[in-house]
Chains A and B, each alone.
Chain A
Amino acid sequence: MSVPNAVIRVEGIRKTYLMGKTEVHALQGVDLTVEQGELVAIMGASGSGKSTLMNIIGGLDYPSSGSYFLDGIEVNKLSKNELADVRNQKIGFVFQGFNLLARTSAIENTELPLLYDRKNRFKNHREAARKALERVGLGDRVDHHPNELSGGQQQRVAIARALVTNPSIVLADEPTGNLDSKTTVEVMQLFQELNTEGVTIILVTHEDEVARYAKRVVELRDGQIIKDITQEPDSAAEDLRDLLARREAAQEADTAGVDAAETTANQ
């Protein structure tokens, strides 16, 4: 069952934790294949096992049984150090809390993964980081520190950091969890744009609001996949346009109201 463009192939993965004395079966036989160029949302309530699945896909954790292939490499058979190298070369992480280093400029944060690149694929770290920041639209903020950036901008830096190594896949864990609705749409628009450029993206989320921008939605419950559908995604760009138009209208109405009130007061 070889899929030619499969970036991720997960076969019969189980994960069992020991919480005190009780065994927790976080994943109970998950099969999942993600192909090159997909934009997948993995959904599920908390406790559904989606974080566990993401940790395994992201090479942060080992499955109890089953196998996981990333770009044809059987990841679950690798040593800790090899796993670290896989995370560095093939995976770009985006976290809910941004997870940028404080007191470190945007460009220094972005070039961080290149420090651990043992293959030295990039000769000029600065230049690679600058390009990644330009790609997420922060070319004019390279020297800003995280505390000088808005939440949306911080998440863009995090996305640039995920992209800088040209990974096989970008893994985003609740990437919009800390963002307001407008910024959420902006970030989703960026993901859609990157996907159009060919970046494979997996989003882990519990919000339908986010999942509707994905081409494919996989839903987990009690450690098993209960739904796997392909859909026509909403366009974040359009939504953003609508959103802005509505806000402008509301603002105009506001100022008009104030003007009317002022006129009345003056008379």
Chain B
Amino acid sequence: MRAFRLIKVAGKSIVKNKMRTLLTMLGIIIGVGAVIIMVAIGEGAQSQIEEQIQNLGTNMLVITPGAATTSGASQGAMSFNRLRSEDAEKIRSESIYAAGVSEVIFTRTQIVGGSGNWRSTIHGVTTDYPVIRDWELRSGRFFDASEERTGKKVIVLGATIADNLFPDRDPVGERVLVRNVPMDVIGVLEMKGQTPDGNDQDDVALAPVQTVQRRLSNWTFIRQILVNTYSPDDIDEAQEELTAIMREAHGLADWAPDDFEIRNQEQLSEAAQGTTEVMTALLAAIASISLLVGGIGIMNIMLVSVTERTREIGIRMAIGARGGDVLTQFLIESIVMSILGGALGITLGVGGSRLLGSSMGWATAVNTETVVIAIVFSAAVGIFFGFYPARKAAALNPIDALRFE
């Protein structure tokens, strides 16, 4: 009850001095607002970068044949052609981390059709492939499971091939010749651009793995198995699991080295993630400084207010307020002000980051964690910076305070 009355007194004093209150809170409002906006921008940038990295395939694992050793001389990667469809099949049925699995075989050949011909690489893949690579279609469709199983003569063209063979029209529905085998174009892939080392990712055509094996290349060994996990966080576990499955599939003894290699792009994603984390921390640090300055502003005004209200403090003490009552009153005032300022700052921050997000096209993300931290922090600012002035007020001698002009 008493505490409630003291809060009421503090509330009244805040309401009675609207201008002073607003000026006091301004620092906190801007500080909290800045923290939220900055963190939102940082996190927005982070999620955007994460998405882009996902595009590169951060949750993708690539299994390739290991290096063969002939009379002690290593033949290098891929020289040991021991990946088969059965391996992919085993992964499909046994792995719990694998979301999608796709065998990949390549064959480099001439594609004839439309306005001429184009030499390119044809990838034999499964229906999971566009999901694993996060590759959308520009037009048409991807082949389905039954087309894959039966080895239908269908092909999906990469953007570069499509643009070169059919510069003036959509190739979907056209027919091209690959090694004299007529194949129906059922889709065109979205432009993906270059890899970091300058390879054109769009200079490719995709066909069912069965089709490529049986009709185009007579090549039963598989060059790669692509696997993606449900989340980039599972990469390490998935890699271990796949290693075990592959060793079992190849019947390797405990002492035998792996005859395959599993690679992921975790380092790439870690580096990028690290960068954005540093950026977020930097922005938060800058914003925290403004919050700190806001806190000092509160202390400043509260100190002035204690001097200005010395007489009031004297009156309150003369009529029976204890030092503790005065301390509590001033402390409550500064806490209420900073929490109120914090709340307004949150409104400003959330509104500001929404506005920024929509006007600049940035993915700004405000999370509850930041908001909670901002509230707690502003209350802490109120207590910390309000304590010194409050104690100064409580320590006043009522006689001097009453005589103060």
Contacts and interface: CB of A to CB of B under 8 A. Distances in A.
A26 B12 CA distance: 40
A205 interface: no
A113 interface: yes
B274 interface: no
A103 interface: yes
Looking at chain B's contact residues, the main secondary structure is helix
B9 A116 contact: no
Interface residues of A, number: 28
B389 interface: no
A81 B319 contact: no
A55 B399 contact: yes
A116 B402 contact: no
Contacts of B349: none
Interface residues of B, number: 24
Contacts of A99: 311, 314-315, 318, 402
B399 A84 contact: no
A117 B325 CA distance: 11
A81 B394 CA distance: 12
Contacts of A87: 317-320
B321 interface: yes
A95 interface: yes
Nearest to B16: A103
B323 A80 contact: yes
B267 to A, nearest CB: 66
A120 B321 CA distance: 14
A60 B16 CA distance: 29
B396 to A, nearest CB: 12
A261 interface: no
A161 B318 CA distance: 12
Q: Which has the most chain B C-beta neighbours within 10 Å: A100, A101, A165?
A: A101
Interface string B317-341: 1111111110000000000000000
A61 B320 contact: no
Contacts of B317: 84, 87
Contact of A60 (B311, B318, B321): B318
B175 to A, nearest CB: 89
Contact of B315 (A88, A101, A108): A101
Q: Which has the most chain A C-beta neighbours within 10 Å: B314, B317, B319, B399?
A: B319
A53 to B, nearest CB: 13
Nearest to B323: A80
A173 to B, nearest CB: 9
Nearest to A58: B318
A89 interface: yes
B321 A84 contact: yes
B398 interface: yes
Contacts of A104: 12, 16
A31 interface: no
A95 B402 contact: yes
Nearest to B317: A84
B247 interface: no
Given A115-B9, A116-B325, A61 B399 contact: yes
Nearest to B9: A115
A60 B399 contact: yes
B312 interface: yes
Contact of A115 (B5, B16, B323): B5
B73 to A, nearest CB: 92
B316 interface: yes
A88 B323 contact: no
A103 B312 CA distance: 12
Interface in A88-133: 88-89, 93, 95, 99-101, 103-104, 108, 112-113, 115-118, 120
A104 B1 CA distance: 21
Given A55-B399, A60-B398, A115-B5, A101 B321 contact: no
A85 interface: yes
A88 B319 contact: yes
Nearest to A113: B319
18 contacts: A58-B318, A80-B322, A81-B323, A81-B324, A84-B317, A84-B320, A84-B322, A84-B323, A87-B320, A88-B319, A93-B319, A95-B402, A101-B312, A103-B16, A113-B320, A117-B320, A120-B1, A161-B319
Given A84-B321, A116-B316, A120-B1, 20 more contacts: A60-B399, A80-B322, A81-B322, A85-B320, A87-B318, A87-B319, A89-B320, A95-B318, A99-B314, A103-B16, A104-B12, A108-B12, A112-B319, A115-B2, A115-B5, A116-B319, A116-B322, A117-B320, A161-B319, A165-B320
The 4 closest A-B pairs by CB, nearest first: A88-B320, A116-B320, A113-B319, A84-B322
